[in-house]
Structure formats: structure tokens, C-alpha cells
Amino acid sequence: MTNHAIALPTTRAARAIHATPAIHAAPASFALGIGLTNECNLACAFCYRDPDRLDRLTLDQVREVMASVPVRSVNLGTGENGMHPDFRPMLAFLAAQPMKLTMTSNGHSVAMLDDEELKAFHDVELSLDYPNEAEQDGQRGAGNWALLHRQAERLVRLGVSVTFIAVMMRSNFSRLAEIAALVARYGAPLRLNVYQSVRSDAYALTYEEYWDGFERLFAETDVIAIGEPLVRAMAGLPPRTGGCGLGTIRVTPRGRVQPCVYWPGPGDSLDALVEQGAGIVESEAFAAARSLPEACRSCTFREPCRGGCAGRRRLHGALDKPDLYCPIVRGQTRRLAIRMAPGRDLPKLDSACTTIVMARS
């Protein structure tokens, strides 16, 4: 890739953004992601979890985590958490805490819970990556499409907020708006994360697919939130005050602490989180997740972008370089036209490099 000079700010507003210092102080509370287990009843090729070993947190570990830092929300992700043998006592403990509880599931964990247990969740996320049954079941397993829709209907009936989540990847990037339109029948938004090459780059987007995917998506949906840094910058949105490296903490089934669910390497120990509390954001991994590449320091979009997705840069062994999807270093701009949707109370709004949209009625 050829590096081009990065544009300096030219307007008063741009100069103000450029001059704004990065925020490093620990937030009043964290968005906490907990992987109770890496077990799953499915074996999706694009999943980031490690399928070669079994890891589980204990209830005592979960209690320790919750006592370590102020928490505003907890999302249960990574594996299919309902497969943990102590899932129910863990759920009972978490449901009693003064925070918002969410879970990401392929439908299996939702189906195993009774109605009262499901009412403990502020929002339940269901994983849907394709707009039709054949492709969804072909990728995830026979019957998954039907299971997702049954559970979505059930959640709506119970009055539990439901969100659908998709991985934006080579096989679906041009059809995400179709998924958003499909799930709108449940009053549900679509949350999407760009595929990260944790285990393979087989589903990774090319530069053009990345930008074409977002342009197509925003042409047919309204935006609730944009956390994907480059997209946020190109859409003209202001800098975030949370996100990876500052406002989010991820605890893996191995009992390790990471700034991002995709962050490679061993991370910090659970003991470090217990001992340091909110000070964990000053650890090496969290500081790295906030790092700004030298080439980005003079960029007009420095503050809203911060060099792009740090997890992706780290996965590609290029933490000190701009995000591989950056248009500025290619001598381009990819301005995105967006229309904002009414705000929604979704705990994942400030979590990770995610984007949340709602189909237009």
C-alpha cells in the first residue's frame, strides 16, 4: 500500500476536533463482556472462539469480576452460555445485580430458559447472518433459522427487547439491509460487527467490500449507533468517549482480561482485574488499544477515528499503522451519508467497534 500525506484540518470545527486531547481517565462504569464458556452446539467457520479446548469460568470468578469494577451493563457472549453446567445459578446471581444484562445467542441458550428467566435480560441478541433460511442453515446448521424466529417471537411476546446481530463478511456484506428489513418485523434493530481474522482471513472483506457494504447498508437503514471508528469518522460523527481500551472490559472463559473481544494474546489475569479494579485500563493491553499510529497524528479525522479499529490493527501485526480499511492513506475519502434513527436504550451502544441500524419503514 502506498502511503499518502494525510490531510490537515482546514476548518475551525476540524481544528477543534484535532486539538481535543484523548480521554484516558477511567469511566464511572464499564460495559462488561463475560464469556462464561467457549462451548457451543454449533461450529461456525467464521467464529472467533477457540474450538480446540474447553474453558469455563466459575461462579466465584464471576462474583469476583462483578465486585472488581463499577458495571453498567454485562453481555454474555463468546460461546453458547447456556451450555455451562452452572448457567442458571450464574444467571440468578447476575440478574440480581444493579445493571443491565444482555446475552448473545444462536438461539440455543434462549430456548433452554423459561419465561421468567428470560425476563431478567434487558436485551437478547440473536445471531443471524443471512436473509434466507438456506444460507443461514447452510452456515450454522439445519433448523437454526426456525429456532431464531421462534425465539424472537417468544421474546416479543414476553416484552423482552430483541436485537439481531450479524457478522459483516465477504459472503453477506451486500445484503445486510435485507437482514435489517427482515428482523424489523420484531421491532428489532440489526447490530453488526465487521469480520475479524482471529482464526482465518477466509471471510475477511476487501477494502472495496468494506466500504461498499456500509454504503449499501446506510442507503436503506437509519443509524442508531456507529462504533466502527473509520465509519464513524467518514459519517461525520463526533469522537466517542468510551469503547475499546477505556469503557469496555472483556473477561474470557479462560479467566483472562482483554480490552476487546478480538484482541490477540494472553491478556491480563483475572487477579490483575481484582487487584487493580478500574485501574486495569492503564495496563499494557488497554493502553495499546487506545494507541494512535504516528501516521494518524496529523489527520483531520484523528479524534473520531483514532487510527481505526485497534483490534484489527493488532490482529494484522500492524498496531502502529493506520487501519487497513483507511481511505485517507490511499489518497481517498469515503464520505458516508447517514440518517439517524430515534435513540434506543441498548447496552451495546458503546461496546466494541459495532454498528447498529434500523430498517426504514
pLDDT at 122 > cutoff 80: yes
Per DSSP, the three-state class of 356 is strand
Question: What is each CA distance from 67 to 64, 71, 255, in whole angstroms?
Answer: 5, 9, 15
Q: What is the pLDDT of residue 21?
A: 37
Residue 19 pLDDT level (bands cut at 50, 70, 90): very low
**Between 222 and 199, the higher pLDDT residue:** 222
Q: So what's the pLDDT on residue 26?
A: 60
Per domain, the residue ranges of the chain are 29-359
Q: Kindly indicate the confidence band of residue 20, based on its pLDDT and cuts at 50, 70 and 90.
A: very low
Cβ(165)–Cβ(126) under 8 Å?
yes
Query: How is residue 189 annotated by DSSP?
Result: -
Mean pLDDT computed over 23-40: 82
Q: By three-state DSSP, how is residue 186 classified?
A: helix
**DSSP characters over 317-334:** T-TTS--TT-SGGGT---
Residue whose C-alpha cell reads 433452554 in the numeric block? 112
Q: Which pLDDT score, from 0 to 100, does residue 155 have?
A: 98
Separation between Cα atoms, residue 200 and residue 203, nearest integer Å: 8
Question: 243: left (phi > 0), else alpha (psi -120 to 50), else beta?
Answer: left
Residue 199 has pLDDT above 80, yes or no: no
Q: Cα 125–98–100 angle (5° rounding)? A: 15
Q: Is 43 helix (H, G, I), strand (E, B) or coil?
A: coil
Backbone phi and psi for residue 154, each to the nearest 5 degrees, phi listed first: -65, -45
The Cα–Cα gap between 82 and 41 comes to 10
Mean pLDDT over each residue of the chain, to the nearest integer = 89
Do residues 124 and 102 lie in contact, with contact meaning Cβ atoms separated by under 8 Å? yes
pLDDT-derived band at 205, boundaries 50, 70, 90: very high
Q: What is the CATH number of domain 29-359?
A: 3.20.20.70
DSSP 341: P
HSE-CB at 53 with a 13 A cutoff on CA atoms is 4
What's the pLDDT at 14? 32
Measure Cα distances from 133 to 44, 127, 136, 141, 155 in Å: 15, 13, 5, 10, 20
Would you state the pLDDT for residue 341? Answer: 95
Cα(246)–Cα(230) distance, integer angstroms: 18
